[in-house]
Amino acid sequence: MKNTISERIFDFLKNYPPFNIVTNATLLEVAQNVEIQYFEKDQVIFSQNDLPHEHFYIINQGSVRLYRFVENEKQMLDICDEGDLFGLRPLIMKENYLMGASANEETILYAIPISLFHDIILNYPKVSQFLIASFATNTREPFSEKHKGKLFANVSAIQKIEHGFSEIQSANYNKNPITCSPDTTVQTACIIMTKNVINSIIVTENEIPIGIITDKDIRTKIGTGLYKITNKVVDIMTKPVVTFPQNISVAEAQIMILKHKVSHLCITKDGTNKSELVGILTQQDLILTQGNSPSLLIKEIKNAKDAETLKHIRTKASDLTKGYLEQEIPIYFVTKVISEINTAITKKAIRMSISEIGKQPPVSFSWLALGSQGRKEQLLMTDQDNALVFENVGPAEYNAVKNYFLELAEKVTEKLNIVGFDYCPANIMASNPKWCITLEEWEQQFEAWITDPIPEKILLSIIFFDFELIYGDETLYTKMAESVFKTIEKNQIFLSFLGKVTLDNPPPLGFFKQFLVEQDGENKDSFDIKSRAIRPLVDAARILSLYHNLRVNNTISRYEKLMEVEPQNRELFESCANAFKILLQFRTSQGLRNNDNGKFVDINNLNKADRLKLKSCFKPIKNVQEAIKMRFKTSQIAQI
């Protein structure tokens, strides 16, 4: 039957996540079962430690504040706005409310029965992903330490619903264990182990594991002369083996390994040592499963044999980023780690490519990262921007040498593309003959850009002047950098032109619900956080660094250096650095949430606190742009 009210609620809900993901039929059912509730300003919706209601809430009109008492001290957690969802987690976790909620102004809520929503969570993996992400983002607010840990535990609880995350729970083990029969000689067993590059071999009889030989057994029993290599493996094997059933979790495996003081677990069909062997789990596997630790990832990169493996590792690095952001690890540290990983991947791709060509480079060269990778600010997968410089060579060898590096660059960019770094649409890559040139050519190029700053050259200098050495010869790189600073010193007018371009991206000021958003196209209703907020700060840092001859690329480091060089503007630069950190974190978490490069922020996804946070970043942008305008007299430069 027609129901004008539920149609209207449907129209409202479908604008907001996660309801925009579910089908119309499902959403209509939700809309038909909504309860509309009205709260006066300051009226309590639920209190901390209350039993969970049967409904969770989405704000139709007004706003709601969430707060929490920690040792009798009230902490504001968040202010939710129209379309925001709250009070859901306790219903899923079946626990009492961890925080209180009150109407911040006159508020109308849509209360949605959790009973309906359970099915939605089960049927729409994207909905549960959204919920995990939104639960996690709550940690950005000043929660107590105690609560933080709890929240994290809860995330894994909800992961049971989301099968995409279940592998985190169960340990990965080798499903093709290498075995030998009991009457194999120790020597043969060792040959098999060496051939397969493994540190253990399982002794089986009719596929049932009866013992194991590890490097340690060889060391303590053969190396010491107790047994000979002609002995049978059955003489020296360690027995019985520690066994476990197939669905072993990381936690269980850890406990078993600690308890039995072994380094290997045999996974058998029914979990006893009387049944068929199906796999082997080593301590190393366990570390890798849990271990998205940066040093392990770097180690994995070094051991990677192909680009697909690098891609897999880079995906793990994304998970790592997500984890860091959830745990509120400072963004500066996160960018450092991720940059290290990206650098390691690029280095590995270069090494792989050189060995594929089968010839060492004819002369020395450096591989340079440009743009955000050059500034070490790349947290997400973005386009690749890179270039190559090689030693000056005579005209006779030039073509042959250049062709070698072009071939190399093409192989490297192909690999990076497989890893997930898209090709640069503007073809600013070392595989482009224009950007794979000698030191001398680069120096001439830079000079041409600086002395004749026409718009397209200015744009190139913006990208290229943030270059960073990734691989190869350091002298070439240093010489390139020196030539830039020397030429700029002689041509200060260049900075005015650069300043002018820098000011082309004014910050959005004074928005609230009328957020400055893109007017059309695919990204309608999104805020271009990259162009409108991050880039102005990056550009300002660059021009001031060039002005002061500061040889750092990273924007945060640039502002920190600027604070030293210009103590009178310390506050300004500090605010810029802070704004930059916030924006970068914002972009990254947005990007991770939407699985894209985070360039556009969907304003419908933002709660009020996020909007305020973003807004606070715009003031430093305005201030630093004013400073640039004054210093570089950009107003004297005609419109270019």
Partner 1 sequence: MIRFFKKKLVPEFWQNHLEKVRNSQKYSNFENIRFVAIDTETTGFDYENDRILCIGAVAIKNNKILVSDAIEIYIKQAVFNKETVKIHGIRKDGNEIKLNEEEAVIKFIDYLDDAVIVAHHTGFDVNMINQALKRLKVGPLESKQLDTNYIHKKIAKTDTYKKIFSLEELCEIYNVKMHDRHTALGDALITAILFLKQTAKYKKNNALNLIDLVNTNYHLLK
Q: Which residues bind partner 1 (CB under 8 A)?
A: 1-6, 8-9, 31-38, 40, 43, 61, 106, 108, 111
For 160, the token pair is 């049971």
Which CB sits closer to partner 1, 22 or 103?
103
Which CB sits closer to partner 1, 4 or 206?
4
Which CB sits closer to partner 1, 8 or 219?
8
Shortest distance, position 76 Cβ to partner 1, whole Å:
24
Distance, in Å, from the CA atom of 211 to the CA atom of 189, rounded to the nearest integer, reads: 13
Distance, in Å, from the CA atom of 310 to the CA atom of 321, rounded to the nearest integer, reads: 16
Phi and psi at 247, nearest 5°, equal -85, 45
Give helix then strand counts, H and E, for the chain. Answer: 26, 20
Which CB sits closer to partner 1, 5 or 76?
5
Shortest distance, position 38 Cβ to partner 1, whole Å:
4
Distance, in Å, from the CA atom of 563 to the CA atom of 570, rounded to the nearest integer, reads: 5
Shortest distance, position 12 Cβ to partner 1, whole Å:
10
Which CB sits closer to partner 1, 32 or 263?
32
Shortest distance, position 295 Cβ to partner 1, whole Å:
55
Shortest distance, position 612 Cβ to partner 1, whole Å:
24
Q: Coil, strand, or helix at residue 133?
A: helix
Shortest distance, position 35 Cβ to partner 1, whole Å:
4
Which CB sits closer to partner 1, 33 or 531?
33
Shortest distance, position 108 Cβ to partner 1, whole Å:
7
Burial class (CB in 10 A: 0-12, 13-18, 19+), 485: middle
Which CB sits closer to partner 1, 82 or 473?
82
Classify strands 85-86 and 35-39 as parallel, antiparallel or unpaired.
unpaired
Q: Is the dihedral of CA 331, 337, 339, 342 positive or negative?
A: negative
From 307, 289, 396, 395, select the one nearest 345 (Cα to Cα).
307
Q: Coil, strand, or helix at residue 77?
A: strand
What lies within 8 Å, CB to CB, of 299 at 6+ separation is none
Q: Which amino acid is at 254?
A: Q
Q: Which parts of 333-486 are beta strand (E)? A: 365-369, 386-390, 436-438, 468-472
Q: Which parts of 216-263 are beta strand (E)? A: 243-244
Which CB sits closer to partner 1, 22 or 379?
22
Shortest distance, position 111 Cβ to partner 1, whole Å:
7
CA separation (Å) from 207 to 85, 188, 273, 364, 589? Answer: 54, 19, 11, 55, 48
Which CB sits closer to partner 1, 42 or 564?
42
Distance, in Å, from the CA atom of 334 to the CA atom of 321, rounded to the nearest integer, reads: 7
Distance, in Å, from the CA atom of 415 to the CA atom of 352, rounded to the nearest integer, reads: 9
Shortest distance, position 91 Cβ to partner 1, whole Å:
17
What lies within 8 Å, CB to CB, of 623 at 6+ separation is 572, 575, 576
> Within 13 Å, how many C-alpha atoms sit on residue 99's CB side?
27
Shortest distance, position 3 Cβ to partner 1, whole Å:
6
Shortest distance, position 115 Cβ to partner 1, whole Å:
12
Which CB sits closer to partner 1, 103 or 450?
103
Which CB sits closer to partner 1, 1 or 197?
1
For 414, the token pair is 């192909």
